[in-house]
Structure 1
Amino acid sequence: MTISPLIISVLLCIFYGCLSIIITCGNILVIMSIIYFKQLHTPTNYLILSLSVADLFVGVLVCPFSMALTESSCWYYESLLCKIRGSFDIALSNSSILHLCCISVDRYYAVCQPLRYATKINDRVAAIMILVSWSVSVVLGIAVMIAGYHTEKCEDSCSFDIQIAPTLGCILSFYLPASVMLCIYLKIFQVAQKQARSIQNTTCQTTKSGAAVSKMERKATTTLAIVMGIFLICWTPFFLCVTFQPVSNYAIPVPVIELFSWLGRSNSMLNPFVYAWFYSWFRAAFRMIISGKIYQGDFGNSKLL
């Protein structure tokens, strides 16, 4: 039984539409929670806020563009939608991984050098990290739009041919930052294990108070490491395909690469669920927003568990 192209197009549009709605709603909850509740006004959460903005753009920009492109059977090098989608894809994926790099540095100081954390990581430093992450990502996205899409014939997919070594691009934008993050989190977990053993051997009350703070920091670090792990699981297949595509003489089918690219985009809808699952204060904030309680009074200073 052969499925007609129209049915495939409709199913893809439904999929893109549902994914776009879930990504948008989930990340709006995270953004509203951090902006509204003063308890969540911390450098770490500001980085999470900016990461959620990047994920939100995937839902409101990339998914709709992809949905529009399914209606066309032929893309030309002058296709503005095709160029814009590729540019946003590169910019937002790089923005996500740069934000995750910044978050790993934040967690390093919080766990490994807690006495220096307040001086090393503050609101100004977080703002600089966010500005650098977005600036580099936007420049890369614009460069992709300028350098790509050189084909002048009708193509059966919205793909691009950037005139630089794709392996070098993947190393700089994915493999190198991912390796740095993995090394940082490995160091963090080593220090956290030593702290846990030290806590078990202490009994004084003041140490218990410090132990509670240390435990909270380690839980936050574990949660953000899971966020990074999910990001790597979602995006690694796509970057591997892009890396080995020239080596394999372009033997990897375009639909496979497109499938892995959508696996990567699905990462944008997973992070809010991770926050809600692991963070009790995010769950409390989500409940207050969804129930409409925040519109019944000023709860910005309320304690979130």
Structure 2
Amino acid sequence: MNQIDLSMQTNNSTPINKKIILSANIQEKNNFYSFPKHIHQSIEIYYFIEGSCKMDIGKETVMSEAGNIIIILTNTVHSFYLDSNISCRFIHIHFDPYKLSSIFMDKEVFNIDLSSILSSINSYYKLVADENMISLLFLIIDEVNDSNQFSETLCTLHLTELLIYFMKKENISSLFSTSKSNGTSNYVFLAFEYIKQNYSEKILISDIANYLNISSRYLRKLFYEATNLTVLQYINIYRINKSIDLMATTDNSLTDISLSVGLGDIQHFSRLFKNIIGINPSKYKNMLIQH
């Protein structure tokens, strides 16, 4: 893999009209619906319009009722379930925090590092929505369902306004100021991309560091500051995410899935899966089949 010069990457921000919101819709569940524990790199927003549900988020059980917003941060194990047959209707949004953050990489123009601010929250945030937040959530849904050439841009702007309004409302605006440099952000973004492209193969921290033309020690420092995870923890979580996708979308055996996500040994895969998700992969796959 060729080394790269990060001095050439300082303007490597995401255009505002690129897809930041991965999915946004209104869903309705009932009759003791449940979705098993899972984990992902996106940030998830729920706004409950009617009814209620329970979520296991990390080690907590969180009750959500109509009018509540739940924001679930990246790399957080969580599940969703109803403990009655009463319907639960909610807005559900997934967005890529790293792409969103990269829009604001020019700190001479913006003094906001959204990823750093959001990652300061441990695993989730729960609040009562007000009229402004509800309006922005429905505007996002409207734009996602619109094919207009400005829809992606408006989605990003509405999402950004929602998050900034949330931070203002919850009095965490003091976190707007950040000491991280554009180069730091770029190194971490490019490390994400390297993992995305190479997760099915053996990855050493030195491989990523050599690709970025920095030391392994410096990479570890930057990566942990940006994600609150070690590089290895992130790689393992990424691979487990991919294995869950494969369980849900293919008939591949667990051995084949383990190999395809770069974990090789099925025993190592099973131990790692259980450590992260809380149950072994065979049980999880059976839950998906029954679901």
TM-score (norm 2): 0.28
Select the structure that is richer in helix: 1
TM-score (norm 1): 0.27
